[in-house]
Amino acid sequence: MKSLFRLVLPAALVLLALSGRAAAAGPLVAVAANFAEPAKEIAKAFETRSGHAVELGFGSTGQFYTQIKQDAPFAVLLAADAETPGKLLGEGLAVAGSRFTYAIGRLVLWGKSSALPASEAVLRSGGFEKLAVANPKLAPYGAAAVETLQKLGLYEALAPKLVQGNNIAQTFQFVDTGNAELGFVALSQVIAKAGGSSWLVPETLHAPIRQDAVLLAKGAADPVAKAFLDFLKGPEALKVIETYGYGTAPAP
């Protein structure tokens, strides 16, 4: 299954790019960048079980919110937070009763080089040049990273070393390419990655990263979009989600 795009483009370009989608294409699912890999696995399993495909777009939740308000043709949103789906519901851009928590994210401090082990002690030492974080105004993992630094009393001291990614995928790339020695990323991005080091940030240092899904107004009449959300709640999808290090909310 192909992904429609990896990183979110400016809204006008997204609308232009999507205007040429084939009529037979499946519903378009906006996926928070931290959830890219599990979303691919889940979408593939959904297609195998149902015979229906969905198309995936990856980016920051904040940018998706802007694009949805500007009439981008997304049928489903898998957000990196709970607030954005709530806002969309309040604005009449999502379907009442469709929102649920599909994953609870975990934040990690990650370094590609084992020569600089990721840890709270390293953060306190300041013995590095650059620390990557996602834009806290657009990406909930970025907001969690900033909150973590504030709770540790390190934000002001480390602010000059911060480099911002537009989303968590770009933040990961900064560290993976050596443009930053350390970065706050999602556990799902590094859980299966060999080498390097990571520090699982205690959940007491930031608000829970509750990731909610919602059926958008443009998908309200799409049975495949609804079926995909139902599949996301099921045991096969939950197993994938847990494999990538996410927590899952108890069934209602």
Cα-based distances in Å from 51 to 2, 70, 91, 224, 226:
15, 31, 33, 10, 14
Same domain, 100 and 9: yes
pLDDT at 204 over 60: yes
Gyration radius (Cα) of the chain, Å: 18
Asked if 175 and 157 count as a contact pair (C-beta separation under 8 A), the reply is no
Q: What is the DSSP string of 109-158?
A: EEES-TTS--SHHHHHHT-SS-EEEE-TTT-HHHHHHHHHHHHTT-HHHH
- Cβ count within 10 A of residue 133: 27
pLDDT at 64 over 70: yes
Same domain, 41 and 71: yes
Q: What tokens appear for 180 in the block? A: 């930053």
Same domain, 72 and 18: yes
Distance CA 90, CA 182 (A): 38
* Per-chain mean pLDDT for the chain: 90
Q: Does 205 reside within a domain?
A: no
Tokens 């192909």, located at residue:
2
pLDDT of residue 168: 92
pLDDT at 186 over 60: yes
Enter the DSSP assignment of 231.
H
Same domain, 95 and 67: yes
CA 117 to chain centre: 25
Domain residue limits at 89: 3-104+210-243
Same domain, 68 and 133: no
Closest CA to 132 of 106, 105, 151, 107: 107
pTM given for the model: 0.83
Q: Does 249 reside within a domain?
A: no
Asked if 179 and 163 count as a contact pair (C-beta separation under 8 A), the reply is yes
pLDDT of residue 5: 36
Q: Does 190 reside within a domain?
A: yes
Q: Does 173 reside within a domain?
A: yes
Number of domains observed in the structure of the chain: 2
Asked if 80 and 250 count as a contact pair (C-beta separation under 8 A), the reply is no
Asked if 240 and 42 count as a contact pair (C-beta separation under 8 A), the reply is yes
pLDDT of residue 115: 84
Kindly give the pairing relationship between strand 76-78 and strand 28-32. Answer: parallel
Could you tell me the strand order of the sheet in which 107-111 lies?
A: 162-165, 131-134, 182-186, 107-111, 197-200
Q: Does 252 reside within a domain?
A: no
pLDDT at 230 over 80: yes
Same domain, 36 and 152: no
Same domain, 12 and 93: yes
Same domain, 9 and 76: yes
Same domain, 12 and 63: yes
Same domain, 65 and 140: no
- Residue 238 belongs to domain with CATH number: 3.40.190.10
Provide mean pLDDT across the span 64-88: 97
pLDDT band at 251 (very low <50, low <70, confident <90, very high): low
pLDDT of residue 138: 86
240-244 contacts, C-beta under 8 A, 24 or more apart: 240/38, 240/41, 240/42, 240/45, 241/38, 241/42, 241/102, 241/103, 243/38, 244/37, 244/38, 244/187, 244/188, 244/191
Same domain, 7 and 76: yes
Same domain, 112 and 181: yes
